[in-house]
Amino acid sequence: MLIAAAAALAGAGGTALVMASSEPVNTSDRAAIETIVREYILTHPEILPQAMENLRSKEMAKIVEANRKAIETPVGDAWEGAADADVTLVEFFDYACGYCRASIADVDRLLAEDKKLKVVYRDMPVLGEDSLAAARLSVAAAMAGKFNAMHKPLYKAGRPSVSNVEAARRQAGVDKNAISNPQVDQQLALNLKLQRDLDLSGTPAWVVGNKVLVGAVGYDALKAAIAEARTKK
């Protein structure tokens, strides 16, 4: 694992480390290269966190790419922004998450400033039964084309409860029977599978380009990730 981590930082086969060696090295001699890499790691252990993060980012990029269609395809109208966007920002959220609520202002600002951005919302109910009830309403509303009529009012009502979820349903005009549609739970099951595949440890979580960010990372971090995704397209 140490060799792999060093290679992820220094380049395939530890080439950069070999070039930095003071002694001539046969670059086809694997044992010699591994000895140099090992010695370099022991001398400079501070490279390991960066190397492991680089390795994790590369592996995560592969997972995102393999699941991109499922991640970026919204349920119904659970999205905002440009229909012809060149970058899609996906938010995994929970209505009971205060950090998700606090991130609304960041998303609104990004959408106001960036006319080629699309934001897709994916429910990730991980904070209890009331979260799950709110998520079922959210998916049902999106399938009925009423997501945006329900989304912010439900956040504004505070932490989900039986009463405010029902009030949000009535306000948005979502049929009560629609919430028990089997497709609602199927969609939530897909979202939770994506959570496991992407190793999302909490909400909010964001996917943009091949990058995954977890937490209320703020406007600046999201803007930078969007710019990076746009550059790499």
DSSP assignments along 108-142, one per residue: HHHHHH-TTEEEEEEE---S-HHHHHHHHHHHHHH
Taking every pair of Cα atoms in the chain, the longest distance, rounded to a whole number of angstroms, is 76
For the four alpha carbons of 214, 218, 219 and 221, in that order, the dihedral sign comes to: negative
| 108 vs 56: which has the higher pLDDT | 108
**pTM as predicted:** 0.77
Q: What is the pLDDT of residues 121-137, one digit of tens each?
A: 999 999 999 999 999 99
Distances in Å between the Cα of 176 and the Cα atoms of 25, 144, 160, 167, 195 are 72, 12, 17, 11, 27
1: pLDDT strictly greater than 50: no
Q: Tell me if 143 sits within 8 A of 183, measured CB to CB.
A: yes
ω into residue 204 within 30 of 0, thus cis? yes
Give the containing element (helix H, strand E) for 184.
helix 182-198
Q: What is the pLDDT of residues 146-192, one digit of tens each?
A: 999 999 999 999 999 999 999 999 999 999 999 999 999 999 999 99
Q: Tell me if 17 sits within 8 A of 51, measured CB to CB.
A: no
Parallel, antiparallel, or unpaired for β 79-81 and 87-93? unpaired
Q: Tell me if 136 sits within 8 A of 185, measured CB to CB.
A: yes
Q: What is the pLDDT of residues 2-48, one digit of tens each?
A: 444 444 444 444 444 444 445 555 556 778 777 887 787 788 777 76
